[in-house]
């Protein structure tokens, strides 16, 4: 029997291999996502893939470009659910919220790329919509960012601060290992 838990894998696409993004933290994120995906598949629980699609032909996320494709390490299998989005939140312009309700999925476990963008926005909305939301800290990653004043924040700072703004406000932040222990 399936649980009331869904694993969301947000934007783990080849576009994030492009050098334009710069320095990144947590190069183990995809491997950790794969471990969670393996556990979900073994249990028969719901796996939901989120794929970003740009309408801009110059975008690395443009449909038909190599970057639009999922990374091989966490590719969907036949029959697994994929929602395509055009904005940062997996809940905007998709049927994700209805799908979760229709399948009585009240717990949402979020992984993917990148921590301060689509992962954060999806986590905030999941919490605001009333889902019991878990964000897996080492199954997501960030790139360095420069602010409006030209100050550079390295990817580890960006990642850590984003997680801090989400923990106990919109979600419970756990590691892959801690979540896998809870599942046993």
- Residue 43: CATH number of its domain: 3.40.50.850
Q: What is the pLDDT of residue 184?
A: 81
pLDDT surpasses 90 at 39:
yes
The partner residues of 52 in beta bridges, in order of sequence, read: 85
Distance separating alpha carbons of residues 132 and 182, to the nearest angstrom: 15
pLDDT surpasses 80 at 2:
no
pLDDT surpasses 60 at 21:
yes
What is the pLDDT of the chain when averaged over all its residues?
96
Question: Residue 56's domain spans which residues?
Answer: 5-183
**Token pair of 161, please?**
């601060």
Answer yes or no: are the C-beta atoms of 8 and 139 closer than 8 Å: no
Q: In terms of pLDDT, which residue wins out, 152 or 184?
A: 152
164-179: pLDDT as tens digits? 999 999 999 999 999 9
The partner residues of 70 in beta bridges, in order of sequence, read: 13
Match 């290992």 to its residue by tokens.
177
Q: What is the pLDDT of residue 28?
A: 98
* Total number of domains in the chain: 1
How many angstroms from the chain centroid is the CA of residue 84? 13
Q: What is the pTM of this model?
A: 0.96
Specify the DSSP class assigned to residue 177: H
Q: How far is CA 147 from CA 56, 151, 158, in A?
A: 24, 5, 11
Mean pLDDT within 155-172:
98
pLDDT surpasses 70 at 109:
yes
Q: What is the pLDDT of residue 183?
A: 87
Q: What is the pLDDT of residue 135?
A: 98
């Amino acid at each position: 029997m399936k649980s009331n838990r869904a694993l969301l894998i947000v934007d783990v696409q080849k576009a994030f291999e492009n050098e334009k993004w710069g320095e990144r933290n947590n190069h183990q994120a995809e491997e950790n996502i794969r471990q969670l995906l393996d556990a979900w598949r073994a249990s028969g629980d719901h796996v939901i893939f989120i794929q970003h699609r740009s309408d801009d032909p110059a975008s690395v996320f443009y449909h038909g470009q190599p970057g639009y494709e999922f990374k091989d390490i966490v590719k969907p299998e036949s029959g697994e659910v994929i929602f395509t989005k055009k904005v940062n939140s997996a809940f905007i312009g998709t049927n994700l919220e209805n799908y979760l309700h229709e399948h009585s999925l009240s717990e949402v476990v979020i992984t993917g790329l990148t921590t301060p963008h689509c992962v954060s926005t999806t986590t905030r909305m999941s919490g605001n919509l009333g889902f019991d939301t878990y964000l897996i800290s080492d199954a997501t990653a960030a790139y360095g960012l420069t602010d409006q004043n030209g100050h550079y924040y390295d990817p580890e700072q960006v990642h850590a601060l984003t997680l801090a703004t989400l923990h106990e406000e919109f979600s419970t932040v756990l590691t892959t290992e801690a979540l896998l222990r809870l599942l046993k």
